[in-house]
Amino acid sequence: MPDKIIGLANADPDELSDITRAVLALRAQVVDAWKMTVRTELDKAYELGPPILENTIPSFHDSLALLLTPEFHQRGAVDIAVVAAEHGGERARLTHYDTTTLIHELQIFRRVLFQTLYGEHVQLTPAQSSAIHAAIDSAIRDSANAFASVQAALREQFAAALVHDLRTPLSNAHLAAELIERASSLPQAQGLARRILQNTARIEAMARELLDNLLFVNGEGLPLRIEQFDMAQLAEQIVQHAATFHGVDIRLNAVSAAGYWCHGSLQRALENLVSNAIKYGDHAAPIQLWVERTEQRVKVSLHNEGKPIPVEEIESLFQMYHRAEETRTQSVGWGVGLPFVRRVAESHGGSVLVSSTAEEGTTFTIDMPLDARPYQGEPRAR
């Protein structure tokens, strides 16, 4: 972006106030001081080349100066919003910044700007200072919003491309395993082929889960295929699968609870909860799974012992692409497991409840109606 945006380029210099011209004259000094300061204070800024680091900052400076001429105040405010959004988007696309770094560098700009004005004896009235501060606060919000939007779009594009690229080799591996199972007369080879088939099917399910999440965050509902089944039987399948493939001690306490739900999505949701318990729970203690029924609702709860989840972190666990802190685990993943669990529950008209203490351990509970058919196709919160 050029160092003079549309609003300033169209402004007649003679129409600008003395204070605007005084601030404009300090542009190079302010920008140079800002670049030196951010390189010193922000590690992620130090690695950037001059053009990328400077980015829209000169235009931002000019737009702030334009605010100090009453006739151009509105134009300056519009330009600041445009520049701030572009700045945040470019930081997301071209740097390794996080939101904290983005906000910090704009806060540094505020500090450097006022230090320079003071050092050069450029005096602003209280109203002018207030206008500059308010504009910078607004720019920080606009820039952070644009940064978050671009990052989310980039993550979704990457995830979609990853899933697309995985499906062809996955399909080939599945087909090859089917041929081996049919052609081989050796029991051991047939057993290995069946294990390959089971695991490729699970990877395919994970890919579908990721695609479902991408649809959901883009405003499309989670597709449900409602059918009648017994939740206790599904829980039994989950327990058997965990014992067979993960070798964990998982204990079931379930009452029969027949209802109308989406079997596939609930199976994947419960498998995600089991996987979560295996990753973060105490491996020396058993995992417990309960199915409880009331007259109109069913509760499916999964409990594990281990380090509790701080109350202030519980909500963030349900945000897309969030991972647990490295201090809790070295496991990595897409960060879509628990968000998927919540979306499955909400798509069935239910909720996910979390209780976690050092004394009682951690319990995730899916609480939902016995009949989810009335909720099929209903809009869900994004």
**Using an 8 Å Cβ cutoff, are 213 and 336 in contact?**
yes
pLDDT (tens digit per residue) in 94-117: 898 999 999 999 999 999 999 999
* Model pLDDT, residue 378: 54
Give the span between the Cα atoms of 21 and 15, in whole angstroms. 10
Mean pLDDT of 253-262: 95
Question: Token pair 């647990």 is at which residue?
Answer: 324
What tokens were used for 325?
């802190």
Q: Would you tell me how many other CB atoms lie within 10 Å of the CB of residue 339?
A: 21
Whether residue 155 is predicted with pLDDT greater than 70 in this model: the reply is: no
Whether residue 49 is predicted with pLDDT greater than 80 in this model: the reply is: yes
In a domain, 95, yes or no: yes
Q: CA separation (Å) from 138 to 72, 131, 144, 281, 323?
A: 18, 11, 10, 43, 30
* Model pLDDT, residue 4: 41
Q: What percent of the chain is predicted at pLDDT more than 90?
A: 43
Residues sharing a CB contact under 8 Å with residue 113, sequence separation 6 or more, in sequence order? 30, 34, 61, 64, 132
* Model pLDDT, residue 326: 39
Give the span between the Cα atoms of 329 and 243, in whole angstroms. 22
* Model pLDDT, residue 113: 97
Give the end of a domain, one of 166, 201, 220: 220
Mean pLDDT of 181-191: 81
Q: Mark whether 18 and 152 lie in a shared domain.
A: yes
* Model pLDDT, residue 168: 72
Give the end of a domain, one of 193, 220, 247: 220
Q: CA separation (Å) from 143 to 1, 25, 30, 103?
A: 15, 25, 20, 8
Q: Mark whether 29 and 148 lie in a shared domain.
A: yes
In a domain, 382, yes or no: no
* Model pLDDT, residue 61: 94
Cross-strand bridge partners of residue 355: 363
Give the span between the Cα atoms of 135 and 121, in whole angstroms. 22
pLDDT class for 215, splitting at 50, 70, 90? low
Largest Cα–Cα separation, the chain: 92
In a domain, 380, yes or no: no
Q: Mark whether 298 and 173 lie in a shared domain.
A: no
Q: Tell me the whole-structure pTM to 2 decimals.
A: 0.49
pLDDT class for 58, splitting at 50, 70, 90? very high
Least confident among 64-68, 215-219, 277-281: 215-219
Q: Mark whether 159 and 59 lie in a shared domain.
A: yes
Q: Mark whether 167 and 263 lie in a shared domain.
A: no
Q: Mark whether 74 and 94 lie in a shared domain.
A: yes
pLDDT class for 328, splitting at 50, 70, 90? very low
Whether residue 219 is predicted with pLDDT greater than 50 in this model: the reply is: no
3 state DSSP class of 328? coil
Q: Mark whether 146 and 212 lie in a shared domain.
A: yes
**Using an 8 Å Cβ cutoff, are 30 and 22 in contact?**
no
**Using an 8 Å Cβ cutoff, are 48 and 91 in contact?**
no
Residue 301, H or E segment: strand 297-304
* Model pLDDT, residue 73: 86
In a domain, 162, yes or no: yes
- Amino acid identity at 297: R
Query: What does pLDDT average to over the chain?
Result: 83
Give the end of a domain, one of 195, 220, 245: 220
Give the span between the Cα atoms of 87 and 142, in whole angstroms. 9
Q: What percent of the chain is predicted at pLDDT more than 70?
A: 82
By 3-state DSSP, what share of the chain in percent is helix, strand and coil, each rounded to 5?
A: 60, 10, 25
Q: Which CATH number belongs to the domain containing residue 290 in this structure?
A: 3.30.565.10
Q: Mark whether 302 and 158 lie in a shared domain.
A: no
**Comparing 260 with 168, which gets the higher pLDDT?**
260
Q: Mark whether 172 and 248 lie in a shared domain.
A: no
In a domain, 198, yes or no: yes
Q: Mark whether 287 and 186 lie in a shared domain.
A: no
Mean pLDDT of 330-347: 69
Q: CA separation (Å) from 353 to 18, 60, 128?
A: 61, 45, 50
Whether residue 289 is predicted with pLDDT greater than 60 in this model: the reply is: yes
* Model pLDDT, residue 11: 60
* Model pLDDT, residue 156: 65
Number of domains in the chain: 2
Residue 111, phi-psi category: left (phi > 0), alpha (psi -120 to 50), beta (remainder): alpha
Give the span between the Cα atoms of 249 and 251, in whole angstroms. 7
Least confident among 167-171, 248-252, 330-334: 330-334
DSSP state of 285: S
* Model pLDDT, residue 138: 94
Q: Could you tell me the residue range of the domain that residue 355 belongs to?
A: 226-375
Q: Mark whether 252 and 350 lie in a shared domain.
A: yes
